[in-house]
């Protein structure tokens, strides 16, 4: 079985749920004997005139060797192709337009923020002037890739709407069946004010696909109800979490207080403001606790102002965007992890926290709530319940210990190998159907 996968770069190259999920999935597939040709966008900048870069195994190793041992088993079944592009996970057409405007104004060949509080982003002007143009251009290159690889894959798998056109193009060129993976819908990202162009691409991708994989029942329902995709073509495929080999001992704690952490993009979707309100309530009752908000995003300044106005800035800290080892370190320093997402298709970060033996509070509006028993579940808007849960987990060690121990056990059983086996079964089903048509 061979897959042509349009995915996203692995961590630590680009951190974030998409890269992490792609990595775990690819490893799992490799273990299940599936060969993956992995195509990702990557901004090379102006100095390089090629459209695609085929990386050999040693280059991949050099790039991702640091992700932990056991990389060898996936390398044998994996080939890696980079398409020159500005696309990064989660970018919105508006953000892309901002970057482009910045580029035009400053005239620099590559543009990036050098601020350590924020995520780095390299922008090159040689690509499309807006994100839609870039998506279309990416699809054209993808079609060429699919043509070059003719006969070397049995099925196409595309992740997130930015690559759906690429998946459709590859399907048209090769005639192979297409699976699209919904990691998040436009409704998750933007609430009710959806970008209609993005919505249209998501819908087109799912309509053209032979099968849609949704990361949770929550997402599956949205796909069926909001996008009108027939229920029998949509399957739920919960994410898993990869157990990295023990990466050394826990970092030395600097502060003695208990630490309650939010880690993620600071955007509407992630509910950072509910975390702040709950924090203020807890701080009224408890002196020995600190709150950390790790990440960056368009709501960051708003949240900082709110924290200042609540007068809790000496106990509420911001780390800025974290990557690689720092993320791990942050989990290890935490006593409680909170994911108050307003809308979360899945939400892999609580699993990573649980893996570090940290009890978690998650919103009921997250897909991950479907697979976890040992997590405190609250409505994202119910800041009183959230504050209660924080208070309880800090105040009563027995409760925290129970959640941590059982949670670790629970999360250990969420293996990408098992998910990949299910994905493989879906592949087989789809290929079979395609043959019979």
Partner 1 sequence: MKTVCLYFQVHQPWRLKKYRFFNMGKDHNYLDDLLNRSIMQKVARQCYLPMNALLLRLIKENQGAFRCSFSITGTAIEQFRAFAPEVLTSFKELAATGCVEFLAETYSHSLASLASKEDFEEQVKLHMEIIEKEFGKRPTAFRNTELIYSDQIGATVAEMGFRTMLAEGAKHVLGWKSPNFVYANAIDQRMRLLLRNYKLSDDIAFRFSDQGWDRWPLTADKFVEWLASEDTPGEVVNLFMDYETFGEHQKADTGIFEFMRALPAALLDKKNGLEFATVSEAAAKYQPVAVLHCPHAMSWADEERDVTAWLGNELQNEAFSKLYALKEKIARLHNRDFDYVWNFLQTSDHFYYMATKWLSDGDVHSYFNPYDSAYDAFINYMNVLSDFIIEVDKALEKQTAGVR
Which residues of the shown chain bind partner 1 in the complex (CB under 8 A)?
Answer: 113-117, 251-256, 292, 294, 300-301, 304-305, 307-309, 311, 313-315, 317-320, 326, 329
Judged by DSSP in three states, 323 sits in coil
Residue 385 · residue 379 · CB < 8 Å: yes
Shortest spacing between CB 57 and partner 1, in angstroms: 35
Mark 265-291 as b/e (b = at least 16 C-beta within 10 Å). bbbbbbbbbbbbbbbbbbbeebeebbb
The CA-based angle 260-239-411, given to 5 degrees, is 55
**Minimum gap (Å) between residue 251 Cβ and partner 1:** 8
Sign of CA dihedral 159, 20, 11, 125: positive
Whichever of 285 and 305 has its CB closer to partner 1, that residue is: 305
Name the residue nearer to partner 1 (CB basis): 260 or 414: 260
Least distance in angstroms from the C-beta of 69 to partner 1:
26
330, 356 contact by CB (below 8 A) = no
- Nearer CB in complex with partner 1: 99/227: 99
Rank residues 231 and 308 by Cβ distance to partner 1 and give the closer one: 308
Least distance (Å) between residue 353 CB and partner 1? 17
The residues, ordered by sequence, that sit 6+ positions from 423 with a Cβ below 8 Å of its Cβ are: 25, 28, 29, 213, 237
- Considering the complex, state which of residue 143 and residue 259 has its C-beta at the smaller distance from partner 1: 259
- In this structure, the strands spanning 78-84 and 52-55 are antiparallel
Nearer Cβ to partner 1 (153/318)? 318
Q: How far is the CB of 321 from partner 1 (least distance, A)?
A: 12
CA distance 91 to 98: 11
- Whole-number minimum distance, CB 122 to partner 1, in Å? 17
3-state secondary structure of 219: helix
């Amino acid at each position: 079985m061979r897959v042509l996968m349009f995915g996203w770069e692995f961590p630590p190259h680009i951190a974030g749920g998409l890269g992490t999920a792609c990595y775990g999935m690819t490893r799992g597939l490799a273990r299940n004997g599936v060969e993956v040709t992995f195509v990702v966008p990557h901004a090379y900048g102006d100095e390089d005139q090629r459209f695609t870069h085929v990386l050999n195994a040693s280059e991949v190793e050099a790039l991702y060797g640091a992700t932990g041992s056991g990389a060898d088993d996936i390398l044998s079944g994996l080939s890696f192709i980079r398409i020159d592009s500005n696309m990064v996970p989660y970018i919105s057409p508006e953000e892309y337009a901002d970057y482009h405007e910045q580029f035009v104004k400053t005239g620099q060949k590559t543009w990036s923020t050098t601020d350590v509080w924020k995520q780095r982003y390299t922008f090159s002007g040689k690509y499309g002037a807006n994100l839609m143009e870039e998506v279309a251009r990416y699809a054209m290159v993808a079609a060429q890739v699919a043509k070059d690889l003719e006969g070397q894959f049995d099925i196409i798998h595309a992740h997130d709407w930015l690559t759906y056109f690429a998946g459709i193009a590859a399907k048209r060129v090769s005639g192979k069946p297409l699976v699209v993976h919904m990691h998040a819908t436009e409704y998750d990202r933007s609430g009710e004010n959806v970008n209609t162009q993005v919505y249209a691409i998501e819908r087109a991708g799912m309509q053209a696909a032979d099968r849609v994989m949704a990361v949770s029942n929550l997402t599956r329902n949205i796909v069926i109800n909001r996008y009108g995709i027939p229920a029998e073509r949509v399957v739920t495929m919960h994410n898993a979490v990869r157990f990295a080999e023990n990466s050394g001992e826990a970092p030395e704690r600097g502060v003695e207080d208990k630490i309650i952490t939010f880690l993620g993009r600071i955007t509407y979707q992630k509910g950072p403001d509910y975390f702040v309100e709950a924090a203020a309530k807890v701080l009224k009752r408890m002196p020995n606790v600190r709150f950390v908000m790790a990440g960056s995003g368009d709501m960051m300044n708003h949240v900082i102002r709110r924290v200042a106005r609540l007068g809790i800035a000496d106990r509420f800290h911001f780390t800025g965007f974290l990557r690689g080892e720092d993320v791990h370190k942050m989990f290890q320093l935490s006593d409680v992890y909170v994911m108050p997402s307003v809308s979360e298709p899945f939400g892999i970060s609580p699993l990573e926290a649980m893996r570090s033996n940290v009890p978690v509070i998650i919103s009921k509006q997250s897909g991950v709530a479907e697979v976890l028993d040992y997590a405190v579940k609250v409505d994202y808007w119910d800041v009183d319940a959230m504050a209660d849960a924080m208070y309880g987990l800090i105040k009563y060690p027995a409760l925290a210990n129970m959640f941590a121990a059982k949670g670790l056990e629970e999360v250990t059983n969420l293996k990408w190998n098992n998910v990949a086996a299910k994905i493989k079964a879906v592949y087989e089903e789809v290929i079979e159907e395609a043959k019979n048509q």
